[in-house]
């Protein structure tokens, strides 16, 4: 019997991890992120726009990043506990506070889920958000009685108002189930980002629900065949290369933070922040801004 279990687990695993992770070295990468400073741009921070289907884990991801930095469970981006519809309907910027009362030089925008054609955030609104035209508090919910066409638009966005990295959030257990409406919206948004040269990544959430190995031990994430397969599927469906896809397990039922979960989050964020900074530098260069 023991032999059978062994064979089964061999089938689920590669012999060697196919992506290297410095497990046990969370502090180093956290320190690197904490000392990150933007250079060569007039922007004071990078703006990360998080998009994806309802329930994909957008708000959880933003909370998880904050948890990892605070070393405790927080709930700034308000996760939808009932797993239902569009909990987040307003355009909101999330900051990560530091001990000295300031915040880190990267901020997140959480938006309403995309759903399909009829409901959910409109691709056009998200493209406006990306280009910096939405003001804080803009309401994506068109069925809301609060909605007015002229509410919440900005006419002259600064570099800081514009997205410097687009983050597509995809749940590992729902890739096959993502409907064409959502995929269509993601592609439209992605095209608009590509046209402007905005870098894009995928954060693949819920790896624990897609692979029993990972559910037991998160360090198996880059040994798991299932996870690689899911990431390849994400890559294929959205047309984003594998090295821009990061699996992350979000905090959802935990009461304490975990170094291995934090490491995956920090590694993903490190890439995001650096490609966003490169984009901003490029922008400044193109517009002849003074660089230092």
Quote the least distance from Cβ 242 to ligand GDP, whole Å: 19
Contacts (CB under 5 A) with Mg ion, residues 82-141:
88
Site residues (CB under 6 A) for ligand GDP? 52, 54-60, 79-80, 83, 88, 113, 169, 205-206, 208-209, 249-250, 252
Residue 59 binds to Mg ion (criterion: CB under 5 A): yes
* Residue count, binding to Mg ion (CB under 5 A): 3
Helices (H), the chain: 2-12, 26-34, 58-70, 123-130, 180-196, 207-210, 212-216, 225-238, 259-286
Quote the least distance from Cβ 82 to Mg ion, whole Å: 12
Residue 257 binds to Mg ion (criterion: CB under 5 A): no
Residue 205 binds to Mg ion (criterion: CB under 5 A): no
Residue 63 binds to Mg ion (criterion: CB under 5 A): no
What spatial distance separates the first Cα and last Cα of the chain, rounded to whole Å?
65
Which residues does 169 contact at the CB level (< 8 Å), separation at least 6?
A: 50, 51, 52, 56, 57, 58, 61, 202, 203, 205
Please identify, using beta-carbon distances, which residue of 114 and 218 lies nearer to Mg ion.
Answer: 114
Residue 255, strand partner residues: none
Which residues does 122 contact at the CB level (< 8 Å), separation at least 6?
A: 140, 142
Quote the least distance from Cβ 283 to ligand GDP, whole Å: 28
How far is residue 272's CA from residue 244's CA, in Å, rounded to a whole number? 9
Please identify, using beta-carbon distances, which residue of 63 and 163 lies nearer to Mg ion.
Answer: 63
Residues within the interface to Mg ion (CB under 5 A) = 58-59, 88
């Amino acid at each position: 019997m023991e032999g059978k279990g062994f064979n089964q687990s061999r089938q689920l695993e590669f012999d060697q991890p196919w992506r290297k992770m410095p497990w046990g070295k969370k502090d180093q990468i956290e320190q690197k992120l904490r000392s990150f400073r933007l250079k060569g741009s007039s922007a004071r921070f990078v703006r990360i726009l998080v998009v994806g289907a309802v329930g994909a884990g957008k708000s959880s991801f933003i909370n998880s990043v904050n948890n990892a930095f605070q070393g405790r469970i927080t709930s700034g981006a308000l996760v939808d506990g009932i797993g239902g519809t569009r909990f987040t309907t307003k355009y909101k910027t999330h900051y990560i506070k530091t001990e000295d009362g300031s915040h880190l030089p990267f901020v997140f925008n959480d938006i309403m889920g995309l759903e399909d054609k009829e409901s959910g955030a409109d691709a056009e609104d998200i493209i406006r958000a990306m280009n910096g035209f939405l003001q804080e508090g803009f309401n994506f919910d068109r069925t809301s009685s609060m909605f007015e066409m002229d509410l919440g638009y900005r006419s002259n966005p600064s570099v800081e108002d514009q997205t410097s990295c687009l983050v597509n959030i995809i749940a590992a257990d729902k890739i096959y189930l993502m409907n064409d409406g959502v995929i269509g919206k993601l592609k439209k948004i992605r095209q608009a980002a590509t046209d402007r040269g905005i870098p894009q990544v995928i954060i693949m959430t819920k790896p624990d629900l897609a692979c029993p190995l990972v559910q037991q031990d998160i360090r198996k994430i880059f040994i798991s065949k299932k996870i690689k397969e899911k990431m390849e599927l994400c890559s294929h469906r959205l047309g984003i290369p594998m090295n821009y896809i990061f699996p992350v397990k979000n905090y959802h039922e935990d009461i304490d933070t975990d170094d291995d979960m934090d490491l995956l989050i920090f590694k993903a964020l490190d890439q995001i922040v650096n490609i966003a900074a490169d984009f901003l530098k490029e922008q400044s260069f193109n517009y002849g801004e003074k660089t230092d």
